[in-house]
Structures are given as structure tokens and as C-alpha cells.
Chains A and B, each alone.
Chain A
Amino acid sequence: MTILLAALALALLGLILGGLIGFTAKKFAVETDPRIEEITNLLPGANCGGCGYAGCADYARAIVEDGVSPANCAAATEENFQKIMAAAGQEAAKRERKVAVVYCSGDNHHAVHVALYNGLNDCRAAAALSGGGKGCRFGCIGLGSCARNCPFGAIEIRDGLAIVHSELCKGCGKCTEVCPRKLIHLVPADSKVHVFCNSLDKGPEKRKICTAGCLACRKCVKAYPELFNAQGFLVRARDGANITAEQVAEVKCPTGALQTVESHANLGKGKEGAA
């Protein structure tokens, strides 16, 4: 008998409270645009901040309420991107896919160490101590601040050099913020060939501290002046220049600083240098 009373009392309590919840849910419901939730689910959910907003949910809100273009999200897959554009009611547009490249080839086989670094395992901290051991003051310190900051795990530190795996890179740009030497640049995904050096030192000085640096011998500039731009002691590929692997092989860069993104990603994997 007491059990019955107890069960009845609980059931009644449940009904009353449940009814109260349902009533308040209806009465005090907050109006949200259902598209915000839809777009949040379509976005990659990595909260990398590459779009410039505080996470995917915030970006979805901005798209729907403020009319911001969904093209800022570099990380969404192409399929999802088209769906987002449709949900936001915007014209289907092309996103320019960017990837990060590390403009340095100075891994432990190429760069000369002038000191042994001992301290915090952080590139920014080491930069304050004259750069953590490698002789080049423009080059990659190799302690991995960029790798740790990448939300997609696209950067690997191999033999003291940061190597970007471009198939994983979404171009969010978090690595570029962290690098104290500003070595990492976001380039169009189609751009497959670069001069992987960041040093502004003179050629002979560079040669002493790294065997993979750009000597600014200008062989590439002479061969293809429309594709390369010499800036003092450093040569850079021009913006938008689509250089092919065959052209790289033809130029025969003396140090191998000019190489394809693929060969840079294979540095240290048993293959000697590049191109």
C-alpha cells in the first residue's frame, strides 16, 4: 500500500513538473534562426578561428545575421561549402584554397648549429635567445610552436624543420600567427613551387650557416624572369606564378632551395635535398 502511494506521488510530481517544463519551453522560447544551427553543423567544427570569428558557431551566426560571406572558412570541405552557400541564400562562389608553406629548408642535415639550445621548448621563447642554436637568424627554429598550434595536425617537425603536409592543411593561418620568424606564408593551393629560404644574408655568409639557402645566384631569374622576383639577396617566386616541376628540374638550383612543395615535404626522408 505504501509503495502504491509512493509511486502515485512520484508520478503526480513527474507530471506536474514535466508539464511545467513543457509550458515554460513554449512560453519562453528564444527565437533562433534554424539556419544558424544548420550551418554550424556543416562547418568543420574545428573552431580554428581562421575565418576571423570566435569558433564555428559564431561564424554561422555572422553568416546568417550579418550576411558575412561563407568564403572565409578555408577548412570546410567543398561539398559542405556549397551547401552552406545554399543555406545562406548566397550565390555559389569559388573559394580560393590556400595552404601554408614554410619558407625554410634548413633541417639538421643542412643547417649549421652554432650553439646548443637548452630551455623552453617553444620557438618564441628561443627566438629571444638568438634563435635556439641554428646559425641562421631568419630560419626555422624547429621547436614546434607551429605544429602544436595547428588545429588539424598538418605540421610535422622532422629533423628540426617544420614541414607542412599540404593535404591536411586547411589554410586557417594559425601557424603564421605563432612563428616568431614569420617564415610561414599562406599561398594559393595551386602554387606548387617555391624558393624555400627566408634569409636576407649575403650569399657567402649564408653558405657558411646553411647548405640549403638561396644564394641569389639568379639562375632561376635569368631562365624565367616572368616567374621569379629577385629581392636583394633572396629570390621569391612571383605571386600567382604557376611554376612546374619540369621548369624546376631545368633550372637546376645549386642549393636546392627552389623545389616543389612535395619534395620539401619529403625532406629528410632518406632523399637527399631536392630537385
Chain B
Amino acid sequence: MNSHHLPLRPHRFEGGIHPADGKAYTTDGTIRIPPLLEKYQLVIQQNIGVSPLLKVKKGDTVKKGQQIADPVGNISVPLHAPTSGTVGDVHDISGANGAPVQAVEIIADGKDEWCEPMECYPDWRNTNRELLLARVKDAGIVGMGGASFPTHVKLSPPPEREIDTLVINGAECEPYLTADDHLMREQADRIITGAGICAKILKISCVLIGVEENKPEAIRALRTAAKGQKDIVIVPLKVRYPQGGEKQLIYALTGRKVLAGGLPMDVGCEVQNVATLAAIAEAAVEGRPLIERVVTVTGSPVADPGNYRVRLGTPVRKVLEWAGGIRKEVRKLILGGPMMGFAQSSLEVTVSKNTSGILLLGADEVRQFEAGPCLSCGRCVEACPMRLLVSTLSKVCENERYDLADENYVMNCMECGICTYVCPAGRPNVQHFRRAKAEIRALKRRK
């Protein structure tokens, strides 16, 4: 392995904050397996790109893991039934970002029978990489860290791009979430296998797994699983949000800066989440498609917080019931982490491939926006990991001068939420910037 990849000490990116950790609620314990449900509402489009086409209709019988929607084109992945049973209606349910989405109902028959497994390759080291890549697509795997970009597309970069490093995101920098932590502790073998498979597909020999220092057990488990494999290195990272942000992670581990507006492959890197790796290993080696994922259910109002291996299509209502319900008034229900997750208004939202956490916040933990005047105190400018002039952007966006916002590089904003977290005036900066980006994109489209 090239020695210049091996950092003696990870680079420190500029900016970032230490929000209150909140991980104590769910650090202990193991991943729990919940009981089977009567009905699953499976959202059809769970990936960025083109929605898969449903190929079953009401009344059809399906088995667990059976492909019920075919991909359309390359930037699309198939969808699989989470359990055996009958297909119900296709209707609209609340989606994670507020807009209604199409979902297919699967009515369980209680037997939970697997379908015929896909062809799998236990001896993946000696298997053709094309076959492995095909398996990744057939299993419906997307980026499970939240991006939900089809993984097989990510693993097939254009041939002119030279990729030499695979960067694995085990940082889990979002407060409250511990799903990746437990996954790394309990399924370290799968993760290392997945890393090896990705390295084989990408034809590279350097894999760097970044894990924040507050997960010593996970680091130990991964190191044990990777023993003897010289090309996989586990690197402990400083605990700082957003350590797991793509560009920050690449900079910390390799010292390379992804250009503004660029992609990791521009600097020869590919980034994958540990959950995605575990899914890849399951698909390629065991022949199992993606039908469930680990979700952290946490927050001070939750009676029994923990991590659950939830099947896709499970309503949030059910997951909260398994976690013992709430023991005090809830103000916010968030899918994802507190810094970048989406607030929900309905309990009927379902778990998708990129749902890493279900977070409840009580009334005393939620502060209303006041949108005070910007004092130019500079806290946001100091903390922004993308080095943007946030106070200027905040002021111009408030005055709806999106042309000036564009000049100040608002399109580089990764919406990590740090600027809004630190602002003493309570300004809703991320909302301003999301709006600015939407307007700028609309303006560009109109041209």
C-alpha cells in the first residue's frame, strides 16, 4: 500500500463544533430485532435518480426478498419485499420530506419465508468484479448514510478517473445516533468484507476507515476483523461535527481537498458508509437483498431508546411502540440526526433505506426561531466547515438578493447546520440557504 496514504495523524479541518453528544441514551446494549408486523408500507422510490417500476399488482403473493420493482435505466435500483405475504394497495403516504410519496402495501402472512436467494459469491476474492457489481445493483443497495445514491453507479466511476483510495465513513458525527457504532461492533466482519469487495470492484488497494474516537469498541472490533489485511487501515478521528461530511472526511484522512462543486472522485477517492458496506457484503456473499437496516430510536422522551434492525416499510408509529412509547411531551419527531434530519408531522412516515435514526425531542429541548438581527459576531464564519462568509450570506438571503448569495458561494453550502446551531440571534440560516439554492437552480434552469 502506498505509504503516503497513511496519515500519522489525521488532518484537522477548519470549523466545526462540539454539540452536546446525546449518544449516552443508546451507546450500551445490542441491536434489537423487532417482531413481524401485519402490514408494511414500502415506499417505491427510495433512491436518488429514477424510481423503479413496480412489477407486482394487488393480490399477488410475494416472498421475503423477492424483487417487486425493476430498475429503470442505470441510476435506479430494484425494490424487494420485506417479508412474505400478499401485495396490497398502491397509495400515497407521507414522505420523509413532507411531500406525499407512492407506497405499496405488503400484507404479511406471518411465515416470513425467504425467496430463492440470488446467486452469491462466498469466494468473492476470486470472483469477477463485474459479477460482484451486478450483485450490488440487484440487491437494491443505495448509500445508507443518508444520500441514497445508487451504490453500483458510485462503484463504476468513469474510466478516465483514477481512484486510488476508498474512504469509509464510520465517523457517525451526528449527535444521538449510534446505529453505525453498533453495526461496527456487531458486524465488523461484514463491514470489512464489504470494504474488500468495494476495493476489488474499484481495483484499488488502499482502504481507510475513519471512526471517531468516542467509539473505542467499534475501533477494536474493526481492527480485529481486519487483522492481517494490510490494505485496510482503521484510523481514529477527532470527535468533531461534521467529521463524517464527505469533504471533511477525505481531507482528514488523506489531506486532499475536494474542489468546491467537485466530487470525491476528482481527488481519486470514493466514500462509502459502513452500513452500505455491510449491505454489500450481505448481498454478495449471502445473496440477501436490502430489506432492513439498523435504526437508532432515541431522545429524552423515548421510554426505552435503542437500536433496532427495522424492515423497510415499517411505520415510525410501530417503531416507537417497540421502544416503549414516550414518557413526556414530544415537540419534534426527526428522521435522521438532529443537525441534518427532517422534522415530521405524521407518525405514518415509514423507514426507508436511508433512515438512520428516529429522534424525539422534548419541549424543553426545542427552541423557537426568533430571527433576530445579525450581529456579525462571526461565530458562524468561524464554525463553517466550508469556509463560507455565513453572516454575509444570511443578510443577503434575508433581503432576497440571491444573486449576491450566488457570488458568495452559497451553492457550496453542505447544509450541515452548524451556522444555525451557533447563531446567538437565532437566525434560520440553513432555511435561508436552502431557499437560496432552490431559487438559484430555478433561475439557472430558466436560462
Contact = CB atoms under 8 A, between A and B. Distances in A.
A129 interface: yes
Interface stretch (A66-74, A111-119, A239-247): A111-119
A129 B343 contact: yes
A115 B371 contact: no
Contacts of A137: 99-100
Interface stretch (A120-128, A184-192, A211-219): A120-128
Contacts of A133: 345
B346 A128 contact: no
Contact of B345 (A124, A125, A128, A130): A130
Q: What is the predominant secondary structure among interface residues of chain B facing chain A? A: loop
A119 B97 contact: no
Given A120-B428, A125-B435, A137-B100, A114 B345 contact: yes
A139 interface: no
B99 A118 contact: no
B368 A118 contact: yes
B368 A131 contact: no
Interface in A125-174: 125, 128-131, 133, 137
Nearest to B343: A129
B435 A130 contact: no
Interface string B367-379: 0110100000000
B441 to A, nearest CB: 12
Contacts of B33: none
A120 B431 contact: yes
B302 to A, nearest CB: 20
A137 B95 CA distance: 13
A122 B369 CA distance: 13
A1 B369 CA distance: 72
A198 to B, nearest CB: 16
Interface string B340-352: 0001011000000
A114 B432 CA distance: 24
B345 A120 contact: no
Nearest to A122: B435
A159 B44 CA distance: 38
B428 A131 contact: no
A121 B345 CA distance: 18
B434 A128 contact: yes
B435 A129 contact: no
B345 A115 contact: yes
18 contacts: A114-B345, A118-B369, A119-B369, A119-B431, A120-B371, A120-B428, A120-B431, A120-B432, A120-B435, A121-B371, A125-B432, A128-B98, A129-B98, A129-B343, A130-B99, A130-B345, A131-B98, A137-B99
Given A119-B369, A133-B345, A137-B100, 6 more contacts: A115-B345, A120-B435, A124-B435, A128-B434, A128-B435, A130-B98
Interface of A: 114-115, 118-122, 124-125, 128-131, 133, 137
